A and B are shown apart, each in its own frame.
Chain A
Amino acid sequence: MRSARDTLVMLLAGGVGSRLNILASRRAKPAVPFGANFRVIDFTLSNVMHSGLARVGLLTQYKPFSLMDHVGSGEPWDLVGRERGIKVLPPHTGEADSDWYKGTADAAYQNLWFMEDYRPDKVLILSGDHIYRMDYERMIAAHEAAGADLTIAAMQVPWEDAHRFGVMVTDADSWIVDFQEKATNARSNLASMGIYVFNYRVLVEELRRVVAAKRGYDFGKDVIPRMLGSRRLLCFPFEGYWRDVGTIRSFLDANLDCLQPTSGLDLTKWEVCTRPNEKGSGDRPPVRVHQGAVVQAALIARGCIIEGEVVNSVLFSGVHVGKGARVRNSVIMHDTVLGDHATVDDAVLDKGVEVGPGCTLGVGDVSVANRAFPTHLFCGITVIGKQAALPAGCRIGRNCLVYPGVRLAGHAAREVPDGETVTGA
């Protein structure tokens, strides 16, 4: 158990998540629902709790409402008490700084006043965008034992992905000798996970030297490279399941990883905490699986009623799968209803979607990328926005996008071809 005086946590939860498209158009990325029962940020907050950390500053910026509702006073993660707490730190105007956060380091810099209240020995900087289980205590202990100024958690990534990360080169004792942020010719595949333990004094000095001097605003791009040579930078290697759920593909895959005990994502062991009664979801009755239903490899939240077939899928609370309906390889969020004999393959359906009887969703040519968002939807996944309505019998192809609240009408009420986007406008 570490007090705020020992280690203060700064959790960066402002992520826009633009590649998640309509899944993150009305909520910050950390607030995106995940794993039938959770939101993405639950994983980081549960790690904080299980690591014995007690005082958290939560830095928000982008559409923070569902996130703030969800985090509340922090009691689901044992963050309420005389020596414990979580404080939401929204962007603010000040004497000199009147701007939105310009980057991760800028967000920390603009909240130095909060850290100064506690004058901690160390600051743990986290992001709320990732699915993983990690004991930060071990990392903090390694930082202390080595006498580092900054310790960065890192993991091996495939070489072809290295350019998407900050990568580091280390010596035999794990000291960082080189650091490159998102370089085209990465010299290493040891990628930063964006988890930093800073000595507080060093953090303050570096933020003043870089951010206050307007030299840059980002830890990975601006602050860390300038510390090379003058500060003691330690790498803390992490092995295990860790995913950035920043794309629709990675979001669906990570959800489906919950179903495979061999994936490394094991909800029965990770002890993830959430706000169990958010919007009354905890008042929902148990799951009912009817006679004649088929359920194979599924994660099913409270209040679901299953009359049809669910295979390799994740169902959030209150989902109803009608008679003869079939769901495969999909994520279906809260209160979405699949009418009788509807079929859904390789799709993400946001909350409250109505799928009419006999609809087919996700049947077509995988290779036809979405025309409006070819970099978001290109591997066959179709996404239906919150509270959209698909009339009976309509056929929706692959890589399709239906915007939140759209009630399909006219030609689209019969068919949405592969790669089409229906905005309703």
Chain B
Amino acid sequence: MKKEIVAMVLAGGRVDELSVLTAMRPKSAVPIWGMYRIIDFVLSNMMNSGIDVVGVLSQYRPYSLNSHLASGAPWDYLGRTRELRILSPYRGARDTDWYRGTADAVFQNLNFLEHYYPELTLIASGDHVYAMDYRPLIKQHLARKAALTIAFTPVPWEMASLFGTAQLDRDGRVLVYQEKAAKPRGNLASMTVYLFNTKVLQERIRQNAAEGRTFQIYSEVIPRMVSEGEAVYGHVFDGYWKYARTIASYYATNMDMLSSAPPDLEAWRVRTNLAIGVAADPPPVIVQSGAAIAGVLVCAGAVLKGAVSNSIISPGVVIERGATVRDSIVMHGSTVAAGAILDRAIVDKGVLIGPGARVGFGDVVPRDAARHIVTDGLSVIGKGARIPAGIVIGRDCIIAPETLESHFSSREIQAGTTVGP
């Protein structure tokens, strides 16, 4: 079946910097803003841009991502001519490998593209938080007769070395493209949104599969196209664009929703999969008398009986009477028992904070930089962990997923400690 454009989402990445949040799921499946997952934004952008066939490239612990994507119906990808397909690694006659990189992932799924033989293929990362209409980019791509158009967004100069950056000429043609250069010549950062002419993509991806070393689009395919003089253009986007590269930036992006000018999610038309429970739909937010709630983003199915301020509360969270939650993120189905205190904590799903426990106590301690985990005074509690009653956990601590009460050897966990089974 012929389609003008088909999209592929790069959703497989595990990012170590996100610590225990990505222990059980790829970054694209990490919950954000209470009820969303990071991949919702790119999928909603595609839906709102009229792209109706999407393949999701995923290989790292895909269970939670796959159940979230389901049939694609939440993004209207269910229908005779619409499709959302999860493209997992497979064993073929020759290829017996896992995806070696983004270019390799596309290479191994060229048959998905060939099924639709689209003129254009949009490849976008599932790891970013933004609302973008891709249609102006597509229009520019066609007007310039480009082979590849990359979306860029300006970032502060001191951040530019973290990204692929480019310099563009007046027509938007990419003059220079540098991948994570120590001293970049431009501060336009790649958003990891690539619009290819499909023919060019097929050719370049096959070439990369034969000759590549990193098998990455950003570090091999794009630099080579630029250096060989292909028509590579940039499209500049200057709206809200955030990422969750580290625990600190994940936290900051979450907290943007509590700022005085939060992103307008209704205007963004962001969709998510609401099929949360099997037994029942979550009831509305329940605030009992005696609760003290201010500066809070809170989702259906939460029950608030204690004090909650400057925090993000996901569906099904219970904050018991006498508990205090401040400057924290509490995900689906977690319970904060009576008298417990959370202060700058990120609590993954299904966690029990025991009565009178205290998370985020005392001074901020910088962690060992060699581990690349900057927790910025934040303590992170992994999925399904059970925090014993009355325990005191310092700042910058990490509690591994499924840690039980019996795994804690002390009543006081020093700042900067990791506890796990």
The interface of chain A, by Cβ under 8 A from chain B, is 35-37, 46, 76, 258-259, 261, 267-268, 270-274, 276-277, 282-303, 310, 312, 315
State the Cβ distance, A110 to closest chain B Cβ, in Å: 33
Contact of A296 among B34, B274, B289, B303 (CB under 8 A): B289
Chain B contacts with A in 296-350, Cβ cutoff 8 A: 296-300, 303, 309-310, 312-313
CB contacts (< 8 Å) of B266 on chain A: these are: 283-285, 303
- Taking A268-B283, A284-B266 as contacts, is the C-beta distance between A297 and B296 under 8 angstroms? no
Q: Are A36 and B284 in contact (CB under 8 A)?
A: yes
Contact among B274, B284, B288 with A282 in the assembled complex (CB-CB below 8 Å):
B274
- Report if A268-B299 is in contact (Cβ < 8 Å); known contacts: A276-B274, A277-B274: no
What is the size category of the interface that chain B forms with chain A? 35 or more
Inter-subunit contact A37/B283 (CB<8 Å): yes
Residue picked from B271, B288, B293, B297, most chain A C-beta under 10 Å: B293
Which one, A76, A277, A299, contacts B284 given CB within 8 A?
A299
B286 and A299 form a contact (CB under 8 A): yes
| Closest residue on chain A to residue B300 by CB atoms | A302
Complex contacts, A298 vs chain B, CB 8 Å: 285-287
CB < 8 Å: which of B33, B269, B281, B289 contacts A274?
Answer: B281
Report whether B297 and A301 are in contact in the complex, using a CB–CB cutoff of 8 Å. Answer: no
Contacts of B284 in A (CB 8 A): 35-37, 267, 299-302, 315
- In the bound complex, do residue A286 and residue B295 qualify as a contact, i.e. CB atoms below 8 Å apart? no
CA distance A301 to B300 in the complex (A): 6
Contact of B303 among A268, A297, A303 (CB under 8 A): A268
Residue of A nearest to B301 (CB): A268
Q: A274-B281, A297-B287, A301-B284 are in contact. Are A37 and B300 (CB under 8 A)?
A: yes
Query: How far in angstroms is the closest Cβ of chain B from A292?
Result: 6
A291 & B294 in contact (Cβ 8 Å cutoff):
yes
Contact A272/B293 with A37-B300, A277-B274, A297-B288 known, Cβ cut-off 8 Å? no
Known: A286-B34, A286-B299, A289-B295. A295 touches B287 (CB 8 A): yes
For the complex, give the distance between the alpha carbons of A288 and B310 in Å. 11
Residue positions of B touching A, CB distance < 8 A: 33-35, 257, 262, 265-266, 269-271, 274, 279-281, 283-291, 293-300, 303, 309-310, 312-313
User: When chains A and B are docked, how far (Å) is the Cα of A302 from the Cα of B271?
Assistant: 13
The residues of B that contact A288 with a CB separation of less than 8 Å are 257, 262, 296-297
What are 7 A-B contacts defined by CB distance under 8 Å? A271-B279, A272-B280, A289-B297, A295-B287, A301-B300, A302-B299, A302-B300
* Contacts known (A296-B289, A297-B289, A303-B266); A289 close to B283, Cβ less than 8 A: no
User: Please, which residues of chain A bring their CB within 8 A of the CB of B280?
Assistant: 46, 270-273
Q: Count the A-B residue pairs with Cβ separation under 8 angstroms: how many?
A: 110
Central interface residue in A295, A299, A312, by most chain B CB within 10 Å: A295
What CA separation (Å) do A376 and B44 show in the bound complex? 46
Q: Which residues of B contact A274 (CB under 8 A)?
A: 281
The smallest C-beta distance from B259 to any residue of chain A, in angstroms, reads 11
> In the assembly, what is the distance between CA of A283 and CA of B40, in Å?
11
Alpha-carbon separation in the docked complex, A297 to B287 (Å): 5
A285 near B33 with CB under 8 A, answer: yes
Chain B contacts for A287, CB-based, 8 A = 285, 296-299
Please report the C-alpha to C-alpha distance between residue A287 and residue B315 in the assembled complex, in whole angstroms.
Answer: 11
Compute how far the CA of A76 lies from the CA of B275 in the bound complex, rounded to whole angstroms: 10
Nearest-CB residue, chain B, relative to A310? B287
Contact A268 B286 (CB under 8 A): yes
Separation in Å of the B157 CB from the closest CB of chain A? 33
- Given A274-B281, A276-B281, also A291-B295 (CB < 8 A): yes
B295 proximity list for chain A (CB < 8 A): 289-291
Which residues of chain B are near A46, meaning CB under 8 Å? 280
Q: How far is the CA of A37 from the CA of B301 in the complex (A)?
A: 11
Contacts of A37 in B (CB 8 A): 281, 283-284, 300
- Residues from chain A with Cβ under 8 Å of B299 in the complex: 286-287, 302
**Chain B proximity of A177: nearest CB distance (Å):** 40
- The answer for the CA separation of A284 and B270 in the assembled complex, in Å, is 9
Q: With A and B bound together, what is the CA distance between A46 and B280 in angstroms?
A: 9
**Contact A296–B300 (Cβ < 8 Å):** no
Neighbouring B residues of A284 by C-beta, 8 Å: 266
Cβ contact within 8 Å between A283 and B271: yes
In the complex, besides A286-B35, A291-B295, A299-B283, 18 extra interface pairs with C-beta distance below 8 angstroms are A36-B283, A267-B284, A270-B280, A274-B281, A285-B35, A285-B270, A286-B312, A287-B285, A287-B297, A289-B295, A293-B293, A296-B290, A297-B288, A298-B285, A298-B287, A299-B284, A299-B287, A301-B300
In the assembled complex, the Cα of A397 lies from the Cα of B293 at a distance in Å of: 31
